[in-house]
Amino acid sequence: MKAKIGDRVFAVASANHSEVELYGFGVYNGLGFHPELNIANPQITLDNDKGVVWGFECWWGRESAFNEFVGSRKVVEVPLRTYPTQTDITTAVSLKKGEA
């Protein structure tokens, strides 16, 4: 069953045969436009002010399916990963060239 806007969902950073790295639980907001990439992608607002995670950054699904997804694996909560923005990259290139 597909998630609907407002549904409770989980977001997972990565998983292997023994462990699931969980960003957390939150609310599915539907498709949003990622501010840096300007692409439509599923957007999830995580609980407890943890922030927003995008569909391309995680595995996600309805909260009701979480236990089945995890199975017998250990669950470890992890912070959201941060990625360099286009501004970060432009600034780094300028610094390297001595322009800043």
Q: What is the mean pLDDT of residues 64-89?
A: 85
Token digits of residue 81: 């990963």
What does the pLDDT read at residue 88? 56
Phi and psi at 96, nearest 5°, equal: -65, -35
What does the pLDDT read at residue 36? 80
For the chain, give the mean pLDDT.
88
Q: Global pTM?
A: 0.80
Nearest to 27 by CA among 58, 1, 53: 53
Q: What is the mean pLDDT of residues 16-34?
A: 96
Q: What is the mean pLDDT of residues 11-30?
A: 97
